[in-house]
A and B are shown apart, each in its own frame.
Chain A
Amino acid sequence: MGTAIVKFHNVTKTYRSKDQTVTALRNINLEIKRGEIFGIIGLSGAGKSTLLRSINRLEIPQSGSIIVGDTEMTTLTGKNLRLARRKIGMIFQHFNLLSSRTVYGNIAFPLEVAGTPPAEIKKRVLELAELVGLSDKLNNYPAQLSGGQKQRVGIARALANHPEILLCDEATSALDPQTTHSILQLLRDVNRRLGLTIILITHEIQVIKEICDSVAVIKNGQIIECGPVVQLFANPRTEIAREFIRTATHDKIPENLQTLIHSNPGEGNLVRIFFQGEAAKEPVITSLIRRFNLDVNILYAKLDFIQDTPFGSLIVDLNGTDDNVQTAMAYLQELGCRIEVLNGVESTTLQSAD
């Protein structure tokens, strides 16, 4: 990790047809670091595919620059474009395998295209089939494979020419949760083993949570939030990001608890503490009790992991002097927790999420 491998600078793309124009990308600026798994999340129609596909120039932006490695992609044509594309693998939601070729033939395809000698093709295909766990399916046609197996073929095909970057266009969106998990693990595995940079787009936050290092949230063709995944989860700044995270963490307050909160406005100090990483390892509750002399009643707790980082939220009822409650909350924020006041304490001093 470290240096940027893909750089977007002021990229804009508009689709024009007879009766309408759609601006799919608005002034995109983005840097993707070498070796990371970079996720782009957004709702349908947000511009994810357009963004991804402009990296290997399947879409041509009207303006701006896209640099891959040290090649400016937007102006490449002919042979140079084909050579550059060989260094960028791609997998698709619907796999896009050649139905007329076996697994072997599909993996061999990019090697044939690159003019690799037959003996070497054979060696490489066997190697790749082994990597994706399909050594026993080499003579099967795609129609005889499950969705997960098809995507494995897709991955093997995409890796054939030793690319530095792998683009994934909703690669798991057509798969069931279990298969999704196994494909994501495979992607994680090749990312680590081969040092491959992976750029994936998805509308499922689960995918981001499971394997991405960094994430960009895209809406109406604009990047509205971008940074490390852990940071997004801990401190989402936009409503859409919050909504995604709520689905990912199944973080809905149970209904009876909600009724309790709403039926007792002004009683006690009901707050929700979101914590992550280091803060999650601190004995927060103990501190609240000992240092601030509060009674802490835990009403709800949820702990989850984003890859290796613990992450979660607590709903607690804090009882003590107003002063103590205020300082306790300042202390929590200092630790990096985000606090949402459900009722009680004056929320003016605190950032409220909703």
Chain B
Amino acid sequence: MVGVSLVIATLLGLPLGVLLVITGPGHIKPHPAIHSTLSIIVNIGRSLPFIILLVAIVPFTRLVVGTSIGTLGAIVPLTVSAIPFFARLVETTLLEVDSGIIEAAQAIGATTWQIIGKVLIPEAKSGLVLGITNCAVSLISYSAMAGAVGGGGLGDLAIRYGYQRFQPDVMLATVIVLVILVQGIQSLGDWMARKLNHK
């Protein structure tokens, strides 16, 4: 559930983040209209609490996967909430790429695509990996919320057994698993980011 959402959110959030950056003022393809439209959409996505988004887009979820409950039903809202989240992370990371390097690429005669593919993304890849890590951790916590509305997974387990049936051992086990999972993902992400960073 988290994995699928993460992959889709990365694949869609990355281009969205790139577009946000390059259409920004003073960047390689400034375009105020596109930039502000995207920015507003992303902000709306980011400002809705997940639990509300989950309910609000039920019709859309049904349309896409045919159901709004269970694991399948949770993937859609998880992904929808992760896309703008990741897009902003991508934006922040790409904006940190030294403008001098971008300028050097322009002076060399690189196309916009070449600047994106050979400069922006490679220069930011360590930060992007941290962004994906961040996104994964958030998705895990959101997925627990999705569990509350029958989305399956650890959250489901914790709510049903730990809370409703009051089985503290299940609750504890879920918490431990979650902590280890998040720790593991964070460490893996940090390690990869360090490997990729040559600064």
| A interface residues (Cβ-Cβ under 8 A, vs B) | 56, 58, 81-86, 88, 90, 92, 94, 96-101, 109-110, 112-114, 141-143, 157, 161, 167
Contact = CB atoms under 8 A, between A and B. Distances in A.
Contact of A58 (B103, B110, B199): B103
A54 B198 CA distance: 32
A96 B110 contact: no
Interface string B165-199: 00000000000000000000000000000001011
Contacts of A94: 100
B33 interface: no
Nearest to B108: A110
Contacts of A81: 109
Contact of B122 (A58, A88, A101): A101
Interface of B is mostly: helix
18 contacts: A56-B107, A83-B109, A85-B109, A86-B108, A90-B107, A90-B108, A96-B98, A96-B103, A96-B104, A97-B104, A100-B122, A100-B196, A100-B198, A109-B118, A110-B109, A113-B105, A113-B111, A113-B118
A113 B101 contact: no
Q: Which 4 A-B pairs have the closest CB atoms?
A: A82-B109, A96-B104, A85-B109, A96-B100
Given A58-B103, A90-B104, A96-B103, A113 B110 contact: yes
B76 interface: no
Nearest to A140: B198
A88 B118 contact: no
Contacts of A56: 107
B110 A100 contact: no
A98 B101 contact: yes
B106 interface: yes
A113 B198 contact: no
A143 B118 contact: no
A99 B196 CA distance: 10
Interface size grouping (class) on chain B: 20 to 34
A152 B93 CA distance: 29
A109 B114 CA distance: 10
B1 interface: no
A161 B107 CA distance: 12
A85 B111 CA distance: 11
B100 A92 contact: yes
Interface string B108-137: 111100100011001101000000000000
Interface of B: 98, 100-101, 103-111, 114, 118-119, 122-123, 125, 196, 198-199
A161 B111 CA distance: 16
A310 B154 CA distance: 84
B124 to A, nearest CB: 9
A84 B106 CA distance: 11
B199 to A, nearest CB: 5
Contacts of A141: 198
Given A96-B100, A97-B101, A114 B109 contact: yes
A58 B123 contact: no
A191 B199 CA distance: 32
A97 to B, nearest CB: 7
A96 B106 CA distance: 12
Given A99-B101, A113-B109, A161-B108, 20 more contacts: A56-B107, A58-B103, A58-B106, A81-B109, A82-B109, A82-B110, A85-B106, A88-B107, A90-B107, A90-B108, A96-B101, A97-B101, A98-B118, A100-B122, A109-B118, A112-B114, A113-B110, A113-B118, A141-B198, A142-B198
Contacts of B199: 99, 143
Contacts of B198: 99-100, 141-143
Contacts of A98: 101, 118-119, 122-123
A82 B113 CA distance: 13
Nearest to B110: A113
A58 B101 contact: no
Contacts of A97: 101, 104
A85 B114 contact: no
B111 A82 contact: yes
Nearest to B106: A58
A81 B107 CA distance: 10
Nearest to B122: A100
Contacts of B110: 82, 113
A271 B114 CA distance: 63
A255 B3 CA distance: 78
Contacts of B98: 96
B150 to A, nearest CB: 44
A85 B122 contact: no
A113 B108 contact: yes
